[in-house]
Structure 1
Amino acid sequence: MSSISLYLLAFYVCLISYSEAWMYSPKFVKYGVNGEFRIIGGKPADKGEFRAQVSLQNRFFAHICAGVIIDPVHIVTAAHCHQPQKRIGYVMGDDLMVTFNGSETRQRRKVMHFVPHPEFSRDTFQNDIAVIRVDNPFNVTKTFGPKRRSEATPTIETRCTVVGWGYTTNGQDGDISYNLLKTDVFVADINYCNSSDSYEGAMKPGMFCAGRLREGGHDACLGDSGGLITCGGLQEISGVVSFGNECGLPEFPGIYADVSMYNAWIDEIVATKVLPEYEFSPFPKPYAISQPDEDDSYGYSYSEVTSSSATLALISVFLAIRSVLNVNL
């Protein structure tokens, strides 16, 4: 195969990867939920500062979601991170960066089991918690290792720190940070978060809200789902990033799954020797972007296209370029 052919093939593979990693997110409807999060209003974390934070990645090692390691083979994350169009294949730890080339200490393991809470609802995001088991234990180091889970819901006005990778402004046209970021937020009253000034009843049992109600500007944002929030300076897993109304808006704190409410279920999964196998398809269904709805002021809507039609379209582009260049494969 010629060098040009190899370049074309690489282009085709990268196009599929790009589509999987970036071109889909749930359509946000007011009073609904949005599970795509990254950090805004943050600053870079230090090596080992959040030693349990991990990146959940696709087959091309592109970051999809985050998680928190609780023992050498188990990770807690958000249940909604398991999506057919964005398969998680690997867990990366012990690195501040999510670039292709990482630090000398970077570790990566293959996902063997992804177990969402049996009562997780994609409509309400209630019980948005899951446990991942990897194929081989992670090596515990000075800068990477498990974090203890909190046994109590954080109280109102407690200072918390939420961490993650990615967008630093609201919307997908913002700047991306490949370095792990952190920002401080404060636990809000769940009654306020469920009021008509905020989420109007969208918060359910097993959730807590945290942000900066008056000024906004500090929050999780696109891509940080499943990542760590730790409260009260205890260096415990208080919760994992779940959903919110855009990023950093005043009156709309981020919503987190309260880990303390799920400790018994997590312990049960960790102790179970035989778990359902996790299907990690090498080529999931592609998704395509459609135009925004006329009455949709919150962003783009996204529609599924059939795997066969999308694949044929990509192959047609590949063959057309080959024909123009007169390349013999």
Structure 2
Amino acid sequence: MTDVFDQCQHLVRTKDPDRFSASLFAAAEHRPALMALYAFHFELVRVREVVRDPMPGEIRLQWWRDLLNGGGHGDVRGHPVADALLQTVDRYSLPRAPLIAMTEARVFDLYDDPMPDLGTLEGYAGETHGALFQLSALVLANGSDPGTGTLAGHAGVAEAIASVLRALPHHLRRGQMFLPQEMLERHGTDATRAIFDPVDPGTKAAAWELDEQAWRHLAEVRSLGDSVPAEVAPAFLTLALVPRVLKRVAATDYDPWTSDVMPSRLQSLWTLWRGARRMRSRERNGRVPLGACLAR
């Protein structure tokens, strides 16, 4: 592993430990490439956290778009994640369009405009989490198409919704709303009221409805992922963590403002290990049912 991949691995291990742990179940030869993809994903996620205003964030995201469009090759030696990402794209012949779309989707994160509707949220999820699942699957298939595009889309929506619900207290405190506006309105509220009224019952009802939408996408994952190449399955292993989050949100004592639905590090490790073990135990002819890791 070259130095830039070492640095990506350190970043993922410290900042995205769930993906790092899941990657340990993948073939060792492909883990450096996974680290590059996951580090890139984290670089995009954290843009909102490291800028005070949207414009510097837009500039950061534009830098990534220019890089992926073929510009800025002379600068990558000073940016290990960029260097590792470009090497990974070349090594596995990864399509650049989904990576560029990932950067464009993250522009939404920079502003406090409410998510308008479920369809927009699902599109955002597909371009962020869904693309990451599919690109990871391509890597584990050594650059070949494993036929998991639609599966990755549903997986991405389920995981993204879980991420939205997990981060909801943080988003509410900083005035950002990822719960769809049309969903909030259906429950008698809106983004402004949800943000400024900690006891607004409509926020909780909307979170519960979004929770059910995530279960619907997990059901599609179970159906579509009934026979996935065993070597590709680790790309989807973080999905094993989604049901735990969704079950906590669905609890009667759930509070969008205060409830911590994050599993502990030990719980996450155990869930990932159990999910991988269940898939391996059901392997037949080199293929596994992805739903084996999704205990409700």
TM-score range, shorter chain: under 0.3
Structure with the bigger percentage of helix: 2
Q: Please give the TM-score of this superposition, normalised by the length of structure 1.
A: 0.21
Q: Please give the TM-score of this superposition, normalised by the length of structure 2.
A: 0.23
Structure with the bigger percentage of strand: 1
